[in-house]
Amino acid sequence: MRYVIVDSAEFTYPDRMDYSTATKCILLDAPRNAYATFQLLISGLQPNHKKESWLPDVIYTDPAPQKQAALGFPRVDGISIKTDLPYEIEWYTLVPVTVEQNHAMPSETAKPHFPERVAPYRVYDCLRPFDGTLDVGVGDGRVPDTDIAGLYGAIRIPADATPGTYTASVEIAAGEESVTVPVLLTVYQATVPQKETLTVIQGYNASGVAKYHSVAQGTAEYSRLDAAYLQAMRRMRQNAMYAMGVRVTEVGKNKYEFDFSAMEKSIRRHLAAGFQRFMGTSVGRRQSWSSSTILVNGKLPAMSYEGYCYLSQYLPALHDMLERNGWLDRFIMSVSDEPNDCNCTEFRALCGLVRKLVPDIRLADAMSYSDLHGALDIWIPLNAEYDKHMTEIETLRANGDEIWHYVCCVPRSEAYINRFTDYALLATRYLFWGNFKYDLTGYLHWAVNRYQVGQDPYRQSCPEHRNADSVGFLPAGDTHLFYPGEDGPWLSIRGENQREGVEEYEMLRTLAKEDPSKATAICERVFRSFRDVEYDVSAFRAARKELLRALSEFG
């Protein structure tokens, strides 16, 4: 049995044991109130049983991934782990998932890290809570398969941990064989703040939880699963949620009644889980990507008399509910997602109408740069759009607005970073270093578990996607940071890197209050723009270590 330790900021694979960060020692530097993380790959194992797929047949629309699912998950049991480290280690089994294509990245445009690896292949993105078993091999039916398995370790460092260097060991046994791995952990005085200042919102599909786990919404089992997904999002430092659940009843011509009880229940549940801010789902939606018309209540042109009648009843009713509950200061609202050149004029007019009806609700939308000036309070451009139109967007900030950024299926070119599974893992993490560098106070993504129709996320990373009249395929991993596990959500290594990226943002921000030039210099060692970052993991670790040392000087 042979092992290597690999940095948790580098993707690993079930068919490789050679990595730029590979060592024989678990060597970690960590702040307090955080996790110190690593990957441990083992070769020389053979599966002794197969775990059947637990995903329900109802999710499949294509026989090909369903046939792959029938191969199951080759596993070996009887694995034990011991350690004398004084801190708890959370152990996860690395589960390989498929990257079937490098969608929207033709080979003639390839450059280093874009893609990180040419598809098809399988990558360790999924983290299954360790139960004494390991997933062995690539698991795609190849003969012979590899004899590789992996573990992800997350050492919980409490906020009151004593700074210093800790030496220990980890022993992993499989049958009569075992390996002993030395551990050298340095805990710094630096502490990650308990409460985030960065707003992080990502789309959560509650009905998808019911579908992929074969439970009915409203049941005790569904409530347990929902709570587990919310906890997993909070672990990633997500602190904002979409607010939805309004029931609209037409009671007469251009007359409506609104039931907000489901929305209120949802917001209360999310507040109890630790979420602090809420974004109302879009007031309107596009009819087509090439149309100027925005529809409200599903079918009414926003600029029509009927549209006005609807909005003049809905928006004040929404406002009254928020005010009654004391939630106005926690709530922002989308007007119409991703306005473009075709509907920008109508979008601005609709924003003006919304402001007239509910002037104290702040407006926010994901957008690309267009003639939208003055329409919103919170601007959420694609990171590439911010980079290309920084002067114009910063003018909006100078006039009192707030700036976030977002990514989705784009950007997918020009070396802009994103959280795809066929990009370098550091690209996910650096998204939040960008928040620090440019003082972008929020981050938005459309999906933590928004699997598309027919998608098995273990075997399909690039599903077909429909948005209004647009149909295409998504880049690898765009739909999710969670996997529907046997008994709840399974984390991903991308999600863990997102968490650490947010925590590094908070540490950089804390340092900047004491020594702004030092914080800026550390950031710029590895992050210079959204398309110019340092991909050498060792160089990244050196910059992060400097951050920990600098912040520790201020207690």
Write the pLDDT tens digit of every residue in 5-54.
999 999 999 999 999 999 999 999 999 999 999 999 999 999 999 999 99
Contact in structure between 374 and 348 (CB atoms under 8 Å): yes
Q: Residue 211 corresponds to which amino acid?
A: K
Q: Which of 102-116, 366-380, 520-534 has the lowest mean pLDDT?
A: 102-116
Question: Is the omega angle on the peptide bond into residue 56 within 30 degrees of 0, that is, cis?
Answer: no
Average pLDDT over residues 289-297: 96
Please determine, for residue 111, whether its predicted confidence score (pLDDT) is greater than 80: yes
In terms of phi and psi (left: phi > 0; alpha: psi -120 to 50; beta: otherwise), the region of 86 is alpha
Radius of gyration of the chain from Cα atoms?
24
Q: What does the pLDDT read at residue 107? A: 86
Contact in structure between 131 and 57 (CB atoms under 8 Å): no
Q: Give dist(CA 528, CA 517) in Å, integer.
A: 15
**H or E element that contains 265:** helix 261-272
Residue with tokens 């990009």: 423
Query: For residue range 209-246, what is the model confidence (pLDDT) as tens digits?
Result: 999 999 999 999 999 999 999 999 999 999 999 999 99
Q: Residue 23 corresponds to which amino acid?
A: T
Q: How many CA atoms lie within 13 A of 116 on its CB side?
A: 24
Nearest to 147 by CA among 50, 242, 15, 316: 15
Cβ neighbours around 28 below 10 Å, total: 22
Average pLDDT over residues 478-506: 99
Q: Are strands 362-367 and 378-381 parallel, antiparallel or unpaired?
A: parallel
Please determine, for residue 120, whether its predicted confidence score (pLDDT) is greater than 80: yes
Q: What does the pLDDT read at residue 109? A: 86
pTM here? 0.97
Query: For residue range 519-532, what is the model confidence (pLDDT) as tens digits?
Result: 999 999 999 999 99
Where exactly are the structural domains of the chain?
Answer: 1-555
Q: Give dist(CA 527, CA 8) in Å, integer.
A: 18
Strand, coil or helix: 188: strand
Please determine, for residue 473, whether its predicted confidence score (pLDDT) is greater than 90: yes
Residue 386: both structure tokens together: 């911010």
Instruction: Measure the N-to-C terminal CA separation of the chain; round to a whole number of Å.
Output: 43
Of residues 424 and 64, more confidently modeled: 424
Residue with tokens 């699963």: 225
Strand, coil or helix: 159: coil
Mean pLDDT of the chain: 98
Please determine, for residue 285, whether its predicted confidence score (pLDDT) is greater than 80: yes
Indicate the pLDDT class of residue 319, thresholds 50, 70 and 90: very high
Question: DSSP assignment, residue 357?
Answer: H
Strand, coil or helix: 97: strand
pLDDT > 70: percent of the chain: 100
Q: How many CA atoms lie within 13 A of 388 on its CB side?
A: 11
Please determine, for residue 555, whether its predicted confidence score (pLDDT) is greater than 80: no
Strand, coil or helix: 474: coil
Average pLDDT over residues 129-148: 97
* Strand intervals (E) in 272-324: 277-280, 284-286, 294-296, 300-301
Q: What does the pLDDT read at residue 108? A: 87
Q: What does the pLDDT read at residue 507? A: 99
Give percent helix, percent strand, percent coil of the chain, each to the nearest 5. Answer: 30, 30, 40
Contact in structure between 229 and 489 (CB atoms under 8 Å): yes
